[in-house]
């Protein structure tokens, strides 16, 4: 009989679900895999998977709502943990994607993710009950955290009990920006801040002599202008797409750090949207060679699955 394995996915956006989906495909032949997630996440991807999908009755983390309401919904977070914590006990292995609160119910849970929500909420709201709970649980139980070593942010950079992997994708080849390339304006999957969509709409109205697309699937010979979540960064790196990483100083510290990481990794450049759009900087960078400063480790999702199989 197969062992039972569960993933509990962060409710925020699509990147968390995408990562879990890509890891789980290497595990379904060995484990009976259940993926707890939001219905909208499943419906967006419509995955062809041997895993069983169990839709949440209640969300856990919703950063877009926290920004909109300017408050931390710790009550919902505690209710979600109380609802799904007991469910975690029936599995042999549990992987929690960025949700630390499950440690209250099961101390051997493995966390996955390259940032911690406790850092994000503290940076925006200072003392709050989600940060307080997650900090207490991490200090008490010292859980193993599986990360993408290239995009660790916040306190996770100094955390000891972690195992870092590379990008989940297979890196194909080097690429060069070219003035003939088109621009893909990739709007965030959730309305984190109106400023992103407003900024992208302004770019769309400029006469840049570039062909402008909005579909992230049109990846040939293009530059992506994005809010740089890890899922979107992975997509760009997989397809050798140069990046203009937008950040709003009112957004999470994770996104601001990731935007700056685009600069240091040599895969594009970051841009503060509170300062307008520097057309000269954009056009000057169209002749820069990219993806040649760092030899990235690849196949991270597959290697995470292989690590889990050895547990």
Q: Is the pLDDT of residue 305 over 90?
A: yes
Structure token pair of residue 302:
């597959």
**Domain boundaries for CATH 3.40.50.2000 within the chain:** 3-169+299-309, 175-290
User: What's the pLDDT at 179?
Assistant: 46
Sorting pLDDT into bands at 50, 70 and 90, what band is 195?
confident
Structure token pair of residue 38:
């939001």
Mention the CATH class of domain 3-169+299-309: alpha beta
Superfamily of domain 175-290 in CATH is: Glycogen Phosphorylase B; (3.40.50.2000)
Q: Is the pLDDT of residue 180 over 60?
A: no
Q: Is the pLDDT of residue 279 over 70?
A: no
Q: What is the residue-averaged pLDDT of the chain?
A: 89
For residue range 227-243, list pLDDT tens digits in order: 999 888 988 888 778 88
Secondary structure E strands in the chain: 3-8, 31-37, 52-55, 93-97, 110-112, 145-148, 162-165, 175-176, 182-186, 212-213, 222-226, 243-247, 268-272, 289-290
Its pTM stands at: 0.88
């Amino acid at each position: 009989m197969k062992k039972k394995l569960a993933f509990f996915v962060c409710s925020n956006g699509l990147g968390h679900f995408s990562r879990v989906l890509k890891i789980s495909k290497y595990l379904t032949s060995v484990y009976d895999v259940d993926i707890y997630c939001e219905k909208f996440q499943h419906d967006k991807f419509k995955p062809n998977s041997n895993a069983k999908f169990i839709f949440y009755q209640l969300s856990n983390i919703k950063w877009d709502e926290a920004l909109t309401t300017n408050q931390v919904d710790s009550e919902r977070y505690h209710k979600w943990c109380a609802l799904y914590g007991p469910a975690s006990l029936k599995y042999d292995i549990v992987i929690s994607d960025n949700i630390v609160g499950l440690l209250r119910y099961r101390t051997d849970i493995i966390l996955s993710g390259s940032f911690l929500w406790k850092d994000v909420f503290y940076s925006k709201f200072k003392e709050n009950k989600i940060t307080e709970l997650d900090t207490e649980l991490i200090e008490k139980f010292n859980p193993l955290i599986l990360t993408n070593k290239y995009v660790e942010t916040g306190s996770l950079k100094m955390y000891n009990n972690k195992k870092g992997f590379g990008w989940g994708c297979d890196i194909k080849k080097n690429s060069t920006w070219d003035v003939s390339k088109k621009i893909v304006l990739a709007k965030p999957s959730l309305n984190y801040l109106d400023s992103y969509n407003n900024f992208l709409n302004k770019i769309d109205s400029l006469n840049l002599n570039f062909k402008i697309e909005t579909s992230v699937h049109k990846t040939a010979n293009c530059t992506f202008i994005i809010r740089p979540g890890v899922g979107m960064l992975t997509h760009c790196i997989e397809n050798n797409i140069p990046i203009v990483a937008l950040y709003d100083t009112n957004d999470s510290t994770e996104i601001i750090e990731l935007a700056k990481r685009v600069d240091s990794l040599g895969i594009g450049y970051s841009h503060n949207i509170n300062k307008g759009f520097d057309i000269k900087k954009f056009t000057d960078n169209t002749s820069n060679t990219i993806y040649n400063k760092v030899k990235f480790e690849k196949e991270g999702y597959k290697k995470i699955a292989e690590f889990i199989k050895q547990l």
